[in-house]
């Protein structure tokens, strides 16, 4: 299996099991839409070695929530970060963080709803 897709699938399933609605696209017109997690950008880099292929994924994970739910948004950001810190294995690959995890919250007024847009970013390497 492609290690990058395996990582994506692991994140999707794990965040769903935590009780969140997870999308790999930015949904529009969803009934009772917030909060949700959008598995956004994933930039993959192969690292060839003499004996095997390694690689890195720079991940951007988005959380959208109602503006009045700042505390809940911060809690979701933290829960995602803790999951990433603890992630060691997916089905076929071992993973190791390569960069600190950044958590950002910005106001989002791109819809009719006033929202918090949480952003988690890091780089993780498969060994």
Residue 33 lies in a domain: no
Confidence of residue 110 (pLDDT cuts 50, 70, 90): confident
Residue 19 lies in a domain: yes
Q: What is the CATH number of the domain that holds 97?
A: 3.30.2000.30
Beta strands in the chain (DSSP E): 22-23, 36-48, 53-66, 95-97, 102-108, 115-126
Residue 35 lies in a domain: no
What's the domain count of the chain? Answer: 1
- pTM of the shown model: 0.93
**pLDDT tens across 14-72, in order?**
999 999 999 999 888 777 789 999 999 999 999 999 998 899 999 999 999 999 999 99
Range of the domain at 70: 3-27+40-126
């Amino acid at each position: 299996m492609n290690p990058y897709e395996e990582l994506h699938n692991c994140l999707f399933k794990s965040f769903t099991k935590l009780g969140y609605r997870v999308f790999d696209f930015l949904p529009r017109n969803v009934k009772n839409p917030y909060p949700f997690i959008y598995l956004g950008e994933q930039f993959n880099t192969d690292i060839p070695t003499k004996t095997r292929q390694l690689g890195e994924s720079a991940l951007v994970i988005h959380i959208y929530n109602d503006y009045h739910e700042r505390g809940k948004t911060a809690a979701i950001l933290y829960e995602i970060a803790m999951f990433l810190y603890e992630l060691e294995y997916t089905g076929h690959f071992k993973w190791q963080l390569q960069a600190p995890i950044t958590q950002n919250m910005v106001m989002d007024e791109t819809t009719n709803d006033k929202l918090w847009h949480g952003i988690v970013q890091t780089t993780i390497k498969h060994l």
